[in-house]
A and B are shown apart, each in its own frame.
Chain A
Amino acid sequence: MELAVSTEELVKIYEGKVRALDGVSLSVEPGKSFALLGPNGAGKTTLMRILTTQIRPTSGKASVFGFDVVHEGSEVRKLISYVPQEMSVWTDISGYENLLIYSKIFGIPRGERERVIEEVLEHMGLIDVKDDLVRTYSGGMIRRLEIACAMLIKPKIMFLDEPTIGLDPGARKSVWERLNIFKREHGVTIFFNTHYMDEADLYSDEIAIINRGRIVARGTAEELKRSLGGEMITLEMRGNYNQEIIQELRSLSSVLDVVSEDGRLSILVRDAESTLPQLIDLVRNWASVGRISINKPTLDDVFLKYAGERLEGRGRIGEIVHVRRMIRRG
Chain B
Amino acid sequence: MEALRNMLVMIELELRRLWHDRTEIYSRAVQPILWLAVYGPVMGRVRGIPTSVPYTDFITPGVMIQSTTFVSIFYGLMIVWERDSGILKKLLVTPASRYSMVIGRSMASGVRALFQALIILPVALIIGVHFIPNPAHFILAFTIIFLSSGGFAAVSVLIASFMKTRERFMGIGQAIVMPLFFASNALYPIQMMPPILREFSSINPLSYVVDAVRGLLITGELSNIILDIVAIAIFDTIMFVAASLSFRRIIE
Contact = CB atoms under 8 A, between A and B. Distances in A.
A280 interface: no
Max chain A Cβ within 10 angstroms of own Cβ: one of B6, B12, B91, B93:
B93
A107 B17 contact: no
Max chain A Cβ within 10 angstroms of own Cβ: one of B9, B17, B86:
B86
A260 interface: no
A107 B95 contact: yes
A65 interface: no
Interface residues of A, number: 34
A80 interface: yes
Contacts of B47: none
B9 A89 contact: no
Nearest to B81: A329
B168 interface: no
B161 to A, nearest CB: 15
Contacts of B231: none
A77 B6 CA distance: 16
B127 interface: no
B20 A80 contact: no
Nearest to B89: A84
Given A82-B93, A101-B12, A105-B9, A55 B252 contact: yes
B9 A82 contact: no
A54 B92 contact: yes
Contacts of A88: 85-87, 89-90
A189 B154 CA distance: 38
B13 interface: yes
Given A52-B93, A82-B93, A104 B86 contact: no
Nearest to A78: B95
B167 interface: no
Contacts of A190: none
B96 interface: yes
A16 B206 CA distance: 41
B93 A54 contact: yes
A102 to B, nearest CB: 8
B16 interface: yes
Given A105-B9, A329-B84, A84 B94 contact: no
Nearest to A91: B85
A74 interface: yes
Place the interface of chain B in its size category: 20 to 34
Given A92-B17, A93-B20, A105 B89 contact: no
A92 to B, nearest CB: 5
Contact of B251 (A54, A86, A105): A54
A93 B93 contact: no
A298 interface: no
Nearest to A88: B86
Interface string A306-330: 0000000000000000000000011
Contact of B13 (A77, A83, A90): A90
Contacts of B97: 74
A63 interface: no
Given A82-B89, A101-B13, A92 B94 contact: no
Given A54-B251, A93-B16, A101-B12, A87 B86 contact: yes
A133 B20 contact: yes
A80 B85 contact: no
A258 B85 CA distance: 42
14 contacts: A52-B93, A54-B93, A74-B97, A77-B94, A84-B86, A84-B90, A85-B86, A87-B86, A88-B89, A92-B17, A93-B17, A94-B20, A329-B84, A330-B85
Given A88-B89, A93-B20, A101-B12, 4 more contacts: A54-B92, A54-B251, A82-B93, A88-B87
